Amino acid sequence: MSNEFVHSVTVPRIYKITADIVRRVREDGASLKTLIYEKKHPNVAGIYGLAVNVLQALPQLDQLFDKTQILTEQPRLNPWLARVLITELLWRKRCLKNRSKPVLTVLAYENKLREESINLGYIKTFVDHKDKVKTFSFMVLIIRNCRILSSRQNKQVKIGDLQDYQSRPCHQESIYNKKNNCAMGPAAVLGTLFLYSIAMFTLPFAAFFMIQRFMILEFQTDTAVTNYISVLAAVITVNLIISCYVYQALNEPVEEKEQIKRPRYVRVNTLLLSVEEAISFFQQDGWQLLPKSTTHSSYLQSLSQLSKPYFIQDLHIPEMLAFPPSTIFHDHSGYRNGKLILQDKASSLPVHLLNPISGSTVLDMCAAPGMKATHVAAKLQNNGKIYAVEIDAKRFKTLLTQIEKTHALCVEPLNQDVLTLDPKLYSHVEYILVDPTCSGSGIIDRPKQSEMDGTPEPKRLKNLQSFQVYLLRYALFNFPNAKRITYSTCSLHPEENEEVVDEVLANVGNAYRLLPVRQLLKNDWTNFSSKKYNCEDLCLYSRPDDDFCNGFFVAVFERNFDVTLPKCKLKGGNEYSMNLIGTNLNIKKDDMAKTSAHQQEKCEKKKKKKKKEEKKVISMSDEQMKISADIVEFEVPDIDSKIKAKSKKEIEKMDVCNDSFNFNKALNESKDIQEETLDVMETKKSRKKRKSKHENTLQETDYDEKEQNKEIEVELPKIKKKKENKGIKIDKIHKIEQAEETVIGPSKKRKKSKEIY
């Protein structure tokens, strides 16, 4: 039976979808926006807002679970659905109107949840924040008003006049000087605020006294009526001033807002559709193509002013098209059939700078989700070979779907660790993409899941840096025919960028050189690496505030075949594997020595155990000898008493012979028993089995003895009746001898049984 509720009243679909999205984001590391658009729910904005709030409140929710024990007391409640419902109850709508079982379960714990949240300070912080917003909202409006009233160089330009606007020299460099656009200094701002505060306090009082005097002089009303009307006039004056501030703040131009919105980039999959065909299809849909920019500054200005129904072709990457920020393509037919790829411009720069030649062999060392590998396939037009390596199984599935969707036939996916590739089997690789795991600090549209998002952690950056150096060094040293290698990250931290490049350059010597990205992009770029590092400004940075795309870092290494690759024993170097083999051999030798010593100790322990077992067996043999002697002593007098019917002379002779004969046999049997016990010791059987066998043999001897005694009692009267016949007497005497032998026979039977055992 399932562990979840069987709902008589269904849970709202938005809660179910949000719970599944949040689970996959946290457990699988999936993209939040991709999952939201996959669900195809009509309320995309509601799901996005709820999912972001749940992700931000996950630490608080875990503490609430520990305090209230809701999950332990209600094991059938889905924990991710519970997180969504509690977030909705405590911090969003503050109520749950549905009557399904999960909702009723959460509502049953509502008082506990609210009490614990107040004790932990979560609701209090939320309320305090709202109070602060109410208290300082008026001051915020004043400050924003000051910013609006301040003189700026940039003015809003209509999209139709964009071409003329780009040609004006006074506006071409304005986008880079946003921080210096404000003509008002600090003193001017404070003076303006002082004037505003005076106006806020003086105008209401002026209105109050003017109305009061007017009412007294003109209408001669009572004092109470005059005061009421004067106060009303003052309140109206205050509200009018506030309304003016609000109106100016709400009508602030879009270009003056602090947050920069990134345009929606679309890469045309040239394996299925040409760029010209894609542009014509968009124009048939009602979009209008802006003229292609000639300089980087004019292109950036076009992006900053981009709005519907206009789009523009990228300045650097011809197959990249830029649309207004809020354009949605997830339902577009071109996106569904793989003709259009939703890819940011920054992530397409490494492939553009790698620039592989048609028919070449390319290695993508960290291929998932497949954007770069399929971009390379489009560059090669499926004429060549691409090895797309991905170690993670789930991300490898995403890679496979992307390859199939884009018809990238020259891509060979490999689900393994790239560091385990045999360089001899892939020595023909000519171009390599190195895009390792990074902090992702350059991605601007990723929702914050905690307060620590965006703040670098030194330990995590150090661990990432060591892995990035390892991977880049492995690419440079182990593929001798590689012509060009690009190293890229979606991070803005120098620990993952310039410091990694500097460390590897110190190892590789002159066998590789950094290509100046400025020349590769024909000087149409503005942000580069810092000159304080050894790589200087040869690497590329894309910054969201300046380049209208995600933050990215790209370094391009080119092979110098005139210089042989140096030998490197460091981690990832070409001789690092030999060092590993040597260390492994030494480890094996140490292990062999340890195992031999351990085996000697085991042998000594076994010898000691054998000695102990021998002592125990000897003691057991002594006991068995005593038992056999007792049996002999017990059996002999019985035989004597039973043979008294014979003649005294013959019987006395027979008794003497029998006694001597029995005594000698008993001694021999005791010797046999000792030999048998030594044989038993060599078989190394357990004591319990020996005891059980011994007891069985004793029971068999007792049973045989009783049967033989009965036979003797039957034979003795017959011997008395036939005393006269000597032959008969002799026969009977032989029978009695046989009977005596059978009495002593159990010891021989024991011997046989032990031999069988």
The size of the chain, in residues, is 757
Q: Which residue has the higher pLDDT, 597 or 197?
A: 197
Q: Which helix (H) or strand (E) holds 206?
A: helix 186-214
Q: What is the arithmetic mean of pLDDT over 245-254?
A: 61
| Stretch (H or E) spanning 105 | helix 101-108
Q: How far apart are CA 16 and CA 81, in angstroms?
A: 7
pLDDT digits (tens, 9 = 90+) for 523-560: 889 999 999 999 999 999 999 989 999 999 999 999 99
Residue 165 pLDDT > 60, yes or no? no
Q: Which helix (H) or strand (E) holds 557?
A: strand 552-559
Both tokens assigned to 521: 């992009």
Q: Which residues are annotated as a binding site?
A: 390, 417, 435
**CA distance linking residue 376 with residue 358, whole number of Å:** 10
Q: Which segment of 164-173, 203-212, 697-706 scores lowest on mean pLDDT? A: 164-173
Could you give the CA distance from residue 205 to residue 225 in angstroms, rounded to a whole number? 17
Name the band, by pLDDT with cuts 50, 70 and 90, for residue 736. Answer: low
Distance between CA atoms of 192 and 197, rounded to whole angstroms?
9
Which residues in 150-212 belong to E strands, given as ranges?
none
* Chain segment 274-315, per-residue pLDDT in tens: 999 999 999 999 999 999 888 999 999 999 999 999 999 999
Distance CA(292)–CA(314), nearest Å, equals 8
What's the average model confidence in pLDDT over 681-690?
55
DSSP state of 8: S
267 sits in the region (left: phi over 0; alpha: psi -120 to 50; else beta) called beta
Number of other CB atoms surrounding residue 721 within 10 Å: 10
Sorting pLDDT into bands at 50, 70 and 90, what band is 175? Answer: very low
Q: Who wins on pLDDT, 683 or 755? A: 683
Contact 205, 234 (CB under 8 A): yes
**Nearest partner of 348 among 517, 76, 191, 550, judged by Cα:** 550
Residue where the block lists tokens 């490898």:
396
pLDDT at 234: 79
pLDDT of residue 152 exceeding 50: no
- CA–CA separation, 669 and 624 (whole Å): 11
pLDDT digits (tens, 9 = 90+) for 177-226: 443 444 456 677 677 777 777 777 677 777 778 887 777 777 777 777 77
pLDDT at 622: 53
Res 601: pLDDT: 66
Strand-pair category, 431-434 with 361-364:
parallel
Residue spans per domain, the chain: 13-120, 209-249, 263-342, 344-442+457-567
pLDDT at position 255: 41
HEC string of 238-287 equals: HHHHHHHHHHHHHCCCHHHCCCCCCCEEEEECCCCCCHHHHHHHHHHCCC
**Structural contact between residues 338 and 407, judged by C-beta atoms closer than 8 angstroms:** yes
Q: Rounded to the nearest 5°, which phi and psi values hold at 391?
A: -85, -30
| Whether pLDDT at 136 is above 50 | no
Residue 100: which region, alpha, beta or left (left: phi > 0; alpha: psi -120 to 50)? Answer: beta
- Model confidence at 89: pLDDT above 60: yes
Q: For residue 401, how far is the Cα from the chain centroid?
A: 21
Q: Which residue's structure tokens are 């501030």?
A: 245
Nearest to 474 by CA among 536, 429, 517: 429
Q: What confidence category does residue 25 fall into, taking pLDDT thresholds of 50, 70 and 90?
A: confident
Give which of 510, 502, 429, 442 is closest to 472, Cα–Cα.
502
Distance in angstroms (rounded) separating the CA atoms of residues 21 and 52: 10
Class of domain 344-442+457-567 as given by CATH:
alpha beta
Confidence of residue 120 (pLDDT cuts 50, 70, 90): confident
Torsion angles phi and psi, residue 269, rounded to 5 = -80, 100
Look at residue 10 in the predicted model and tell me its pLDDT. 85
Mean pLDDT of 616-620: 54
Architecture, CATH, for domain 263-342: 2-Layer Sandwich (3.30)
Whether residue 680 has pLDDT greater than 90: no
Are the beta carbons of 570 and 576 closer than 8 angstroms? yes
Question: Of the candidates 208, 343, 304, which has an alpha carbon nearest to the alpha carbon of residue 547?
Answer: 304
- Contact at 8 Å (CB) between 367 and 373? yes
**Under a CB-based contact definition with an 8 Å cutoff, are residues 421 and 475 in contact?**
no
Name the band, by pLDDT with cuts 50, 70 and 90, for residue 244. confident
Furthest CA-CA distance within the chain: 179
pLDDT at position 140 = 46
pLDDT > 70 fraction of the chain, expressed in percent and rounded: 62
3-state secondary structure of 109: coil
pLDDT number for residue 754 = 43
pLDDT of 612 reads 63
Binding residues for S-adenosyl-L-methionine are: 390, 417, 435
DSSP annotation of 564: P
Is pLDDT above 70 for 72? yes
The pLDDT value recorded for residue 238 is: 78
Residues 6+ apart with CB under 8 A from 568: 473, 477, 507, 508, 574, 575, 576
Instruction: Kindly report the average pLDDT of the chain as a whole number.
Output: 74
Count other Cβ atoms within 10 Å, centred on residue 64.
23
pLDDT for 420-473, tens place per residue? 999 899 999 999 999 999 988 898 876 655 555 555 678 889 999 999 999 999
Provide the pLDDT for residue 251: 62
Element (H, E) at 704: helix 687-721
pLDDT reported for residue 407: 96
Higher-confidence residue: 658 or 202? 202
Tell me the per-residue pLDDT of 36-48, one tens digit each, with 9 for 90 and over.
877 677 788 788 8
Residue 143: which residues within 8 A CB-CB, separation 6 or more?
A: 193
Question: Coil, helix or strand for 540?
Answer: strand
Pairwise pLDDT comparison (619 vs 611), residue with the higher score: 611
Q: What pLDDT, on a 0 to 100 scale, did the predictor assign at position 28?
A: 76
pLDDT at 236: 85
ω before 309 within 30° of 0 (cis)?
yes
Beta strands 552-559 and 484-489 are: antiparallel
Catalytic residue among 366, 410, 438, 490: 490
**Angle of the 58-68 helix axis to the 79-87 helix axis, nearest 10:** 110
**pLDDT for res 751:** 44
Tokens of 608: 């000691």
pLDDT band at 330 (very low <50, low <70, confident <90, very high): confident
Instruction: Report how far residue 51's alpha carbon sits from residue 20's, in angstroms, rounded to the nearest whole number.
Output: 10
Torsion angle of alpha carbons 103, 108, 109, 115, nearest 10°? 120
pLDDT at 174 over 90: no
Torsion of CA 419, 421, 424, 425, to 10 degrees: -160
Tokens, residue 208: 């109050």
490 is catalytic: yes
Lowest mean pLDDT among 422-426, 575-579, 660-664: 660-664
736 vs 269, higher pLDDT: 269
Rounded Cα–Cα distance for residues 351 and 373 (Å):
9
- How far apart CA 569 and CA 546 sit, in angstroms, is 41
